[in-house]
Amino acid sequence: MIMNEPTITYKTGMSRKDFLTLTGRSVAAVAVAGIATACGASGSTSIQSGLKAVSPPAKIPSSPIEPIVLEEWKSKNDVESAPTPTPMPYKDRIGYAIVGLGHLSLEELLPALNTCKKSRLAALVSGSPEKLKKVAEQYGVKPENCYSYETYYQIKNNPEVDVIYIVLPNGLHKEYVIRGAKAGKHILCEKPMANTAAECREMIAACNTANVKLMVAYRIQYQPHNRKIRDILQQKALGTTKFIQATNGQASANPDHWRHKKALAGGGALPDIGLYCINTNRFILGSEPVEVFAYQYSTPGDPLFTEIEEMVSWQMKFPDGIIANCVTHYDIHDNKDYGVFCEKGWLKLDNAYSYTGQQLKKSHAEGKEKIQENIVIAETDQFAIEMDHFSDCIINDKRPFTTGEEGLQDHIIMEAIYESARTGKPVKIPANADTELFHGPEPELG
């Protein structure tokens, strides 16, 4: 009954919102309870510390996908509450084994799993027993669900693990994906998928043979600002796309880190962060580059760049003459943005490839006016929605949106970029007959 009285006015003549602000919620609850009782409301009540509390009325649907509807209390002048989340019961969620407890796992993935709705942490794999024990305690993972790289294969006997998520240096992805597939588990693999296109092909074949799903963790394809740009471009809301300018750069400092060792990283800035420019351009345009032209540079004598490159600058030619001009760098202050320039306007996305902080600007002309606007979109936890998408694919037996074939295509393009930089000539990208395999159905991002 209280829920249906949003315009209720109290004796003082104050609005309900002002009343709550002035008196505090608990006093208000007593007053509201009194009014409710006087009106003959039948909500359940209890007495604690001398205060009479009212259980807020709530509609509790039996369907797991219908949200619980709570009592209304906000004015219509304020933003409406979002529906309550509808997470799956914890025991029914897809169980993840996280392999490699480095920066990405500890700083992003494990915290993100706590916010997932269809995914849960089931197991951990690490080479460090001390780290394994500490992280297991922090996240409530049972000792029997903690594995070393030597005992990794025993995950096959663990029914609590549905997915193995490979978060190791790039050069180890192939081995651990193939072993994971042979253990009969679905595989989520960090980007870049591997060190080479040949390795990607082996990984895809192994997952097909084992009949397990393989997804590459291209979080940008699930990120709302980047998806919005894709929609605007593909609907041609700003006319034909003409040109893209993309940068992904950051500063490295440790020459001993695996990212600076060719065997473990596969390359330098290009496979680590330049890859975002390649993959996101393909995603937002919905087409494949037909040719690349590249230039590569490393500062002579810099110990950071004895094995891997510091900088790659390249152009990708897409069908219809669209040019994407891209730069990736391992020795500049962090910069991750791109602009898309169309016939009738442009879109610019700051922090485009970052974990948070995307800022989307749009410009177009209206008569004598140049209209520039900020398109504000709520941020999401990119890692949580990505893992929940993969879980959804397993629950509903769907092909992941970002497949192994999608990861392979980026490696084919990167190999062409390196070849162009080496030879100083443009390199054609052979037409790929498997483009329909690059993506599964559109993800339902809740």
Which residues participate in catalysis according to the annotation?
191, 276
Confirm or reject binding of residue 168 to ligand NAD (CB under 6 A). Answer: yes
| Strand pairing category for 427-428 and 359-366 | unpaired
Give me the least distance between CB of 166 and ligand NAD, in Å please: 8
Give me the least distance between CB of 379 and ligand NAD, in Å please: 15
Pair of tokens at residue 405: 């074939």
Q: Which residue of the chain is nearest ligand NAD when measured via CB? A: 102
Distances (CA, A) of 385 to 160, 221, 238: 21, 11, 29
Residue nearer to ligand NAD on the CB measure, 102 or 321: 102
Residues in 188-207 at the binding interface with ligand NAD, rule: CB under 6 A: 190-191
Residue nearer to ligand NAD on the CB measure, 102 or 303: 102
Confirm or reject binding of residue 167 to ligand NAD (CB under 6 A). Answer: yes
Residue nearer to ligand NAD on the CB measure, 1 or 263: 263
Give me the least distance between CB of 385 and ligand NAD, in Å please: 13
Pair of tokens at residue 157: 């006997």
Burial of 81 (C-beta count, 10 Å sphere; 0-12/13-18/19+): exposed
Residue nearer to ligand NAD on the CB measure, 2 or 109: 109
Listed residue (182, 122, 96, 131) closest to 389, CA to CA: 96
Residue nearer to ligand NAD on the CB measure, 170 or 313: 170
| Residue ranges with strand state E in 7-162 | 45-48, 51-54, 94-99, 119-125, 146-147
From the list 23-31, 69-77, 169-177, 238-246, the region that binds ligand NAD by CB under 6 A is 169-177
Confirm or reject binding of residue 308 to ligand NAD (CB under 6 A). Answer: no
243 strand-pairing partners: 323, 341
Gap between the Cα atoms of 185 and 239, Å rounded: 45
Strand arrangement of the beta sheet that strand 186-189 belongs to: 146-147, 119-125, 94-99, 163-166, 186-189, 214-216
At position 371, the amino acid (one-letter code) is I
Gap between the Cα atoms of 335 and 244, Å rounded: 16
Give me the least distance between CB of 210 and ligand NAD, in Å please: 21
Query: Going residue by residue from 116 to 155, which x/- string records binding to ligand NAD, judged by CB under 6 A?
Result: -----------x----------------------------
Interface residue with ligand NAD among 30, 41, 264, 375 (CB under 6 A) is 264
Residues at the interface with ligand NAD (CB under 6 A): 100-105, 127, 167-170, 172, 190-191, 217, 219, 258, 264, 272
